[in-house]
Amino acid sequence: MAERSQGRMTRALLQMARRLDLPEQQLAGSFLVELVGDTQLHMEGHRGILSYGEEEIHISAGALVVRVRGAGLELRAMTPTELRVTGKIFGVELV
């Protein structure tokens, strides 16, 4: 019974997000990572930068950390919900 009411609540939250033009994954507590080739990473639903360097950036995603490894990494843009990293990206890991 609890699963059914939780499912209804999740659907209601997602419908509300669409109506208010809010990122659905932010309300659902999830995140989205998009790679453009090996030179750009776009993330929606982040919860802040944990560590920053030219070779490694750690980004909070709630219970997980997104670790971006590469060379010449730069945080190009950041809002409260989205960010963009550029540089030569060698790997992205969830830890």
Regarding whether 77 and 65 lie in a shared domain, the answer is yes
11-20 pLDDT tens trace: 676 676 677 6
Percent above pLDDT 90 for the chain: 57
Q: What is the CATH number of the domain that holds 39?
A: 2.60.40.2000
DSSP 10-51: HHHHHHHHHHTT--HHHHTT--EEEEETTTEEEEES---EEE
Instruction: Report the run of H or E that residue 85 belongs to, with start and end.
Output: strand 82-94
Residue 51's domain comprises 31-95
Q: What is the pTM of this model?
A: 0.71
Residue 61 has pLDDT above 70, yes or no: yes
Regarding whether 39 and 22 lie in a shared domain, the answer is no
SS3 6: helix
Regarding whether 67 and 82 lie in a shared domain, the answer is yes
Phi then psi dihedrals of residue 78, to 5 deg: -155, 130
25-55 pLDDT tens trace: 555 567 889 999 999 999 998 999 999 999 9
Domain count, the chain: 2
Mean pLDDT computed over every residue of the chain: 84
Residue 10 has pLDDT above 90, yes or no: no
